[in-house]
Amino acid sequence: ERVSYSGGSGQTLRISNSSFLTGLQRLLLVSRGLMESSRMLSYLRLQRVELSLTIEVLSYLILVESGEYDTTISKDSSFG
């Protein structure tokens, strides 16, 4: 089963492992504004995710999709 997320510029993220999402959601929620691109990319590579989105857009999409996006986390403060 493949889940596809589409970015505004036509970029897509394809995920083949459904259980991967929960782990990534937890990681994002825990690390919130402290995400490091290198750490995130290492994790994504470990999970064999085909990634063409930026980490910021990816995290925003997953948090919104999962319904766990905290409205107190503004886009400016988290990703700026």
Q: What is the DSSP letter of 5?
A: E
| Predicted pLDDT at 57 | 67
Domain ranges of the chain: 3-73
Mean pLDDT score across all residues of the chain: 56
Confidence at residue 16, expressed as pLDDT on a 0 to 100 scale: 46
Read off the pLDDT of residues 26-66 as tens digits, 9 standing for 90 and up: 666 655 544 455 566 666 666 655 555 566 666 666 666 65
Q: What is the pTM for the complete model shown?
A: 0.19
Structure tokens given for 55: 């980490």
Distance CA(29)–CA(10), nearest Å, equals 26
Phi-psi region of 67 (alpha: psi -120 to 50; beta: other; left: phi over 0): left
The Cβ-side half-sphere exposure at 30, using a 13 Å CA radius, reads 7
